Structure 1
Amino acid sequence: MTAEPIAGKNAPGSTDASHHSHEPQQSRKSQQSHREITDERGRVYRVGESDRDILGRPRWTMVVLPWVAMIAISVFEYAYGAAEDTLSAAHHWTSSNTFWVLSVWIFFQAGVSFPAGKLREKGVLTSRKAMLVGSVLSLLGFVSLSHAPNVAAAMVGFGLLGGVGSGLIYSTCVNMVGKWYPERRGGKTGFVNGGFAYGAVPFIFLFSYGFDTSNYRTVLDLVGFYVLAVTLVAGMFFKDPPKNWWPADVDPLRPSSDPRTAVALAKNPPSVRQFTPGEALRTGVVPLMWVCILCCAGVSIFGISFQVPFAKEMGFGPLIAASSMGVMSVINGTGRGVVGWLSDRLGRQRTLTYVCVALAMAQFGVLWAGEMHNQPLFLAFAFLSGFAGGAFYPLFASLVPDYFGENNNASNYGMVYSAKLVSGLFGGGMGAMVVDSWGYVGAYTMAGAVSLLAAGLSLLLRQPGVPRARAIAA
């Protein structure tokens, strides 16, 4: 392994104009103090700069601020099922039409991740600009949903504009955390990702009890301004670290003295190098991840969309129906943080397999408890469904930089996350068709089988280049 001191702004690998033309210039101290070191695999680490040198504040702020923004946009997806009845009645839509609006939103929310990532990495779109644009489009999404004259207008306004806006915010927040915590990203990414679920809990109860055809426009408009205000303020403080940045207090070439960091790096070693999107795609791992997240996200979206309607059809009262979704959202969010923390200790690939199996068990369990009309059991499996239905997101968000590096993570994760744009069609719109044709028994049985398929696929995931790197080290 080698260590190569490099200083000065024109030195190889140092801060260049093309990378930082879109961010405030670093301090003179930061520019002169960093150096680059290379490990035996050829991976470059930029060390010597602390988080305060770059940000002017501790890096934990780049966990809290994205978390707050994720809480704000969670109302888009996780509270929509609770609003479905009122939206259908107010706009005179069928249930299938209402859920197709959500499917269009999911399509654009996931689809914008890759192109936005490319723009960010090229310096065209900074993290702050992404948050600003996302905030305004999110507001337009809710205003469109409240005043839409027909389904097509709702699909364009809420689905397209709201989907792009919330997708910009989501991808920016998730990728931000992995860049600032390359040595122990699992728990931090899970914590931020969790806000996207439990932040919707107050709105689930609002849409279940205080949302009707007499006030739906006012409520949706106010929700839109709430999302705008929170995400806009949080986004004003966003900033990415330099390429190849590594925390100044963690030696990337030697075991860490911090046992938590040492275990996390041992179970989830850094990528062998920084992969471009094309290189990552050619490894064959990205397509495998894509199919796996397609299966998991489709099942998760199905549960989010149909758990409340299924509970009502089984004869459970509105309190149990809303509580089941509230429980699902809370556990969905907190489970992301817990699983992210566990993945730092158990390894992310193994943890992902456990999550997929739990997701399958939850689908069969919700169906079983519903048909038995057993409320406590129904809530218990809703708990498990919420836990597993969100936990895979931070695992993939951490696996991608683990496997392919942080420099192109916005694009690489965008490729993997784009699977959700297809899964939204299966989980939402096509899920409604399956329920209409086969009933809830057929739909939940299919969801459980798809989850088991995802578990099998997760066993095939391997970090590209690791066997070769270990051979060199040996």
Structure 2
Amino acid sequence: MTAEPLAERGASGRADAPHRYREITDARGRVYRVGESDREILGRPRWTMVVLPWVAMIAISVFEYAYGAAEDTLSAAHHWTSSNTFWVLSVWIFFQAGVSFPAGKLREKGVLTSRAAMVTGAVLSLLGFVSLSHAPNVAAAMAGFGLLGGVGSGLIYSTCVNMVGKWYPERRGGKTGFVNGGFAYGAVPFIFLFSYGFDTSNYRVVLDLVGLYVLAVTLVAGLFFKDPPKNWWPAHVDPLRHGAAGRTAVALAKNPPATAQFTPGEALRTGVVPLMWVCMLCCAGVSIFGISFQVPFAKEMGFGPMIAASSMGVMSVINGTGRGVVGWLSDRLGRRPTLTYVCLALSVAQFGVLWAGEIRNQPLFLVFAFLSGFAGGAFYPLFAALVPDYFGENNNASNYGMVYSAKLVSGLFGGGVGAMVVHSWGYVGAYTTAGAVSLLAAALSLLLRQPGAPTARAQTGTAGLSSPPGAS
């Protein structure tokens, strides 16, 4: 169904509107602000708001994706057990994910600008690495690296991911996936650094320098951040008739715009947010488990440090590039079906890594590490694009924050609880459980539906009717 405009008003004469634009309303009451180009708002093309978040995501990827490679040295240097070391990572994951929703609310209320969020995140990220290098005990590391570093990197992560969807509302899958990918493959140099050039004699210097690197990159990138106005839509794409050609037309057909701009309360009441939350909980828990334990598992299987580091390096590269590829595919296949395929691939990868390790087959181990890395990151940009697809862009920072908060719980399962499961059941029990949880996520993804979207019968028999926010 193509909605006809119900209202249109000019805004070029208003004192608070420096650029010419108009607001048009579709049959369901959703408002689109059209007429302003990206250059008028930013002073530069909008693709810069893909590149700058991507660079910042590359910088903060070292927090999570290189941590497993540093675990042995950290444990030896601080005299921690392996479980203690991974609990530090679990605390980091808790705050990295947990800050997304409150930060989103502050951004949408105008209390916290995207630029301020990036600057604050940059400083806290530095403090996180300095705390990890100089922590006198586990509690101090949890407070410094876990809490401060988690909040800092979480501010940067959520700001970067939400920024892209706002600037590319008509074709967000590939762009979101590209930016999200930097959060994985940006850690590759540090995986090898922590595997070969990181020991108890230099760990403090190395970690302090890594913190300064993260500060410099994220601070410079963040100073150029700017959100588009509420309801902004690119002038060359008709939001009512989807009057676009080529890739944009396909993307809008497979992933139509949200029927309304849902507030967090309205989005929660649809029942779709809780379903997304549980699905992400399963996927993220399995992904974090793989990130945390693939290198230790490879070493226990006797593959040696080169294969162990290479498997994690491959996993991080494919984890990142896979996010961009899957985002691009979701623009063509549809976000929800693509998510189901990714969950199934994640399950196969868990059983495959276990099998290859058990039979001591190094090439096969790398193949399944490849698949694990691909699927273990691909679901993140899919959820990041699904949320504004379903609930609109205006409150996306808060709405996505609710869904992404699942990671704060999954971090406990994938890291700390994962260590306990490995200790109690061994790697066979742990990887088997991870594979089963991924299958559950695939089943849950089949239930996702865009709130307020007309059914096939309504599209053919009752065209023009609309559904209010909160209808499912």
TM-score by length of 2: 0.94
Identity of aligned residues (%): 90
Q: Which residue of the partner structure matches residue 291 of structure 2?
A: 304
- Tell me the alpha carbon deviations over residues 165-212 of structure 1, each in whole angstroms, 9 at most, x when there is no partner: 000000000000000000000000000000000000000000000000
Q: 1:16 to 1:105 in 2, by over 3 A?
A: farther
Q: Which residue of the partner structure matches residue 245 of structure 2?
A: 258
Q: Tell me the secondary structure at the aligned position of residue 235 of structure 2.
A: coil
Gaps of at least 5 residues in structure 2 are: 459-470
Q: Which residue of the partner structure matches residue 425 of structure 1?
A: 412
CA contact (8 A) 1:9 1:15 kept: no
Q: 1:7 to 1:72 in 2, by over 3 A?
A: farther
Q: 1:85 to 1:423 in 2, by over 3 A?
A: same
Q: Which residue of the partner structure matches residue 139 of structure 2?
A: 152
CA contact (8 A) 1:6 1:14 kept: no
- Tell me the alpha carbon deviations over residues 210-242 of structure 1, each in whole angstroms, 9 at most, x when there is no partner: 000000000000000000000000000000000
Q: Which residue of the partner structure matches residue 451 of structure 2?
A: 464
Q: 1:439 to 1:14 in 2, by over 3 A?
A: farther
* Post-superposition offset of 1:257: 3.6
Q: 1:211 to 1:427 in 2, by over 3 A?
A: same
CA distance in structure 2 between the partners assigned to 1:65 and 1:409 by the alignment: 19
Q: Tell me the secondary structure at the aligned position of residue 8 of structure 1.
A: strand
Q: 1:7 to 1:223 in 2, by over 3 A?
A: farther
CA contact (8 A) 1:4 1:36 kept: no
Do structure 1's residue 93 and structure 2's residue 80 form an aligned pair? yes
CA contact (8 A) 2:57 2:156 kept: yes
CA contact (8 A) 1:82 1:308 kept: yes
CA contact (8 A) 2:127 2:145 kept: yes
CA distance in structure 1 between the partners assigned to 2:314 and 2:274 by the alignment: 33
CA contact (8 A) 1:363 1:448 kept: yes
CA distance in structure 2 between the partners assigned to 1:301 and 1:369 by the alignment: 20
* Post-superposition offset of 1:15: 8.9
CA contact (8 A) 1:3 1:37 kept: no
Q: 1:3 to 1:353 in 2, by over 3 A?
A: closer
Q: Tell me the secondary structure at the aligned position of residue 7 of structure 2.
A: coil
CA distance in structure 1 between the partners assigned to 2:121 and 2:455 by the alignment: 42
CA distance in structure 2 between the partners assigned to 1:267 and 1:259 by the alignment: 13
Q: 1:200 to 1:389 in 2, by over 3 A?
A: same
- Tell me the alpha carbon deviations over residues 271-318 of structure 1, each in whole angstroms, 9 at most, x when there is no partner: 000000000000000000000000000000000000000000000010
Q: 1:38 to 1:13 in 2, by over 3 A?
A: farther
CA distance in structure 2 between the partners assigned to 1:363 and 1:3 by the alignment: 45
- Tell me the alpha carbon deviations over residues 128-166 of structure 1, each in whole angstroms, 9 at most, x when there is no partner: 000000000000000000000000000000000000000
* Post-superposition offset of 1:467: 1.7
CA contact (8 A) 2:122 2:218 kept: yes
* 248-257 or 448-457, larger mean C-alpha shift: 248-257
CA contact (8 A) 2:320 2:377 kept: yes
Q: Which residue of the partner structure matches residue 12 of structure 1?
A: 12
- Tell me the alpha carbon deviations over residues 308-335 of structure 1, each in whole angstroms, 9 at most, x when there is no partner: 0000000001000000000000000000
CA distance in structure 2 between the partners assigned to 1:423 and 1:437 by the alignment: 19
CA contact (8 A) 1:9 1:16 kept: no
* Post-superposition offset of 1:255: 3.3
CA contact (8 A) 1:273 1:405 kept: yes
CA contact (8 A) 1:120 1:127 kept: yes
CA distance in structure 1 between the partners assigned to 2:86 and 2:4 by the alignment: 56
CA distance in structure 1 between the partners assigned to 2:146 and 2:77 by the alignment: 18
CA distance in structure 2 between the partners assigned to 1:7 and 1:377 by the alignment: 60
CA distance in structure 2 between the partners assigned to 1:83 and 1:430 by the alignment: 19
CA contact (8 A) 2:57 2:179 kept: yes
Q: 1:62 to 1:85 in 2, by over 3 A?
A: same
CA distance in structure 1 between the partners assigned to 2:285 and 2:12 by the alignment: 45
Q: 1:254 to 1:79 in 2, by over 3 A?
A: same
* Post-superposition offset of 1:4: 11
Q: 1:12 to 1:404 in 2, by over 3 A?
A: farther
Q: 1:424 to 1:3 in 2, by over 3 A?
A: closer
CA distance in structure 2 between the partners assigned to 1:139 and 1:352 by the alignment: 34
CA contact (8 A) 2:5 2:27 kept: no
- Tell me the alpha carbon deviations over residues 391-448 of structure 1, each in whole angstroms, 9 at most, x when there is no partner: 0000000000000000000000000000000000000000000000000000000000
- Tell me the alpha carbon deviations over residues 46-80 of structure 1, each in whole angstroms, 9 at most, x when there is no partner: 00000001000000000000000000000000000
CA contact (8 A) 1:4 1:37 kept: no
* Post-superposition offset of 1:264: 0.2
Q: 1:55 to 1:214 in 2, by over 3 A?
A: same
Which of residues 207, 213, 220 is equivalent to 2:200?
Answer: 213
CA contact (8 A) 1:3 1:38 kept: no
CA distance in structure 2 between the partners assigned to 1:75 and 1:13 by the alignment: 48
* Post-superposition offset of 1:12: 12
CA contact (8 A) 2:8 2:25 kept: no
CA contact (8 A) 1:15 1:242 kept: no
CA contact (8 A) 1:311 1:321 kept: yes
Q: 1:299 to 1:339 in 2, by over 3 A?
A: same
* Post-superposition offset of 1:256: 3.0
* Post-superposition offset of 1:11: 5.8
CA distance in structure 2 between the partners assigned to 1:469 and 1:404 by the alignment: 20
CA distance in structure 1 between the partners assigned to 2:2 and 2:341 by the alignment: 39
CA distance in structure 1 between the partners assigned to 2:2 and 2:195 by the alignment: 61
CA distance in structure 1 between the partners assigned to 2:375 and 2:382 by the alignment: 11
Q: Tell me the secondary structure at the aligned position of residue 273 of structure 1.
A: coil
CA distance in structure 1 between the partners assigned to 2:314 and 2:409 by the alignment: 26
CA distance in structure 2 between the partners assigned to 1:330 and 1:389 by the alignment: 11
* Post-superposition offset of 1:7: 13
* Post-superposition offset of 1:463: 0.2
Q: Tell me the secondary structure at the aligned position of residue 33 of structure 2.
A: strand
Gaps of at least 5 residues in structure 1 are: 18-33
CA contact (8 A) 1:6 1:35 kept: no
* Post-superposition offset of 1:43: 1.1
* 77-86 or 2-11, larger mean C-alpha shift: 2-11
Q: 1:395 to 1:2 in 2, by over 3 A?
A: closer
CA RMSD after TM alignment = 2.5
CA contact (8 A) 1:2 1:39 kept: no
Q: 1:198 to 1:302 in 2, by over 3 A?
A: same
CA contact (8 A) 2:118 2:159 kept: yes
CA distance in structure 1 between the partners assigned to 2:434 and 2:244 by the alignment: 44
Q: 1:350 to 1:2 in 2, by over 3 A?
A: closer
Do structure 1's residue 84 and structure 2's residue 68 form an aligned pair? no
* Post-superposition offset of 1:258: 1.9
Do structure 1's residue 376 and structure 2's residue 363 form an aligned pair? yes
Q: Tell me the secondary structure at the aligned position of residue 99 of structure 1.
A: helix
CA distance in structure 1 between the partners assigned to 2:114 and 2:364 by the alignment: 44
Do structure 1's residue 357 and structure 2's residue 344 form an aligned pair? yes
